[in-house]
Amino acid sequence: MINKWRSLSFKLWLTIITAIILSVLFAYSLSQYYYKNLYVEKLKTDLVNEASLLGADYTGGEISEDFKQKVEWFNSKNDSEVFVVSNPRELSACLPFEINYDTLISEEERQMLLDGKAVEKEGYEKRFEKNIVAAIIPLIDEDRLEGIIYTYIPVDSITVLLKEFAAKWMAAVLLFLIVAIFFTTKWLKKLISPIKDIETAAHRVSEGNYDIQVQVRSHDEIGKLAKAFNDMANSI
């Protein structure tokens, strides 16, 4: 008898299951990559739009207390953190912590803001002591940078979403693997059964029983093999 671990059915089963597992792992890695990147890119776009809508209320000149209060109110109702800097060198009164304007943006980003462009950021922000995704919108009056609107979301919130996604994915994968193993095993048994019948019949022929016939169950290679065996037994 052929050892179970060396049998054709086990080799086929192992090959199929390995292919399924590798496919699942590849799909998972790809989905994680695209989910994170697409989500982060959409988040940046949303933050820019959010800050731009707030910035549309700025009518020029020195940033008023009324405008700051509107931003502060919006910040209290929104998931992201939003604040306004009323001067390139100092903080607005709406911030609950001290921060230096120079630490928020680089010279290159400052120039982008002076050109009227939004700045998108992703990574560790030293002053916040956390990884963030952020957008900065300039408040410009007559080519002067009167201030900025800074909005950001901690990357930790994205990580939580990715973990939730991973947990749901793994549960679905586990269920898929159980179903795949079940049907693969049944299919292989059905596939290998005719070969085992031919093996049994061959042993009987070797013992002198030439009347044995193998049932032809299909028209594929295995079916042709069964028919060839029957023809051989009849000729003998």
Pick from 75, 104, 72: nearest CA to 89: 104
Return d(Cα 70, Cα 76) in angstroms, integer. Answer: 10
Token pair recorded at residue 183? 């049907």
Fold (CATH) for 48-154: Beta-Lactamase (3.30.450)
Token pair recorded at residue 128? 């916040």
Return d(Cα 182, Cα 176) in angstroms, integer. Answer: 10
Question: What integer pLDDT is reported at residue 131 of this predicted model?
Answer: 85
Question: What integer pLDDT is reported at residue 122 of this predicted model?
Answer: 85
Listed by start position, the domains of the chain span 4-32+161-235, 48-154
Question: What integer pLDDT is reported at residue 3 of this predicted model?
Answer: 58
Pick from 133, 150, 119, 132: nearest CA to 55: 150
Question: What integer pLDDT is reported at residue 157 of this predicted model?
Answer: 66
Burial 27-40 (b: 16+ CB within 10 A, else e): eeeeeeeebbeeeb
Report helix, strand or coil for 31.
Answer: helix
Pick from 195, 153, 202, 169: nearest CA to 29: 169
Token pair recorded at residue 118? 């939004």
Cα dihedral angle (224, 229, 234, 236), rounded to 10 degrees?
140
Per-residue pLDDT of the chain (236 residues; tens, 9 = 90+): 445 656 777 888 888 888 888 888 888 888 777 777 788 888 899 999 999 999 998 888 888 888 989 989 988 888 888 988 875 454 333 344 444 444 567 778 878 888 889 999 888 887 778 888 899 999 988 888 888 899 998 887 666 777 777 788 788 888 888 888 888 888 888 878 888 888 788 888 777 777 778 877 777 777 788 788 888 777 76
Strand partners, 112: none
Beta strands at 81-85 and 144-154: parallel, antiparallel or unpaired: antiparallel
Token pair recorded at residue 207? 């013992």
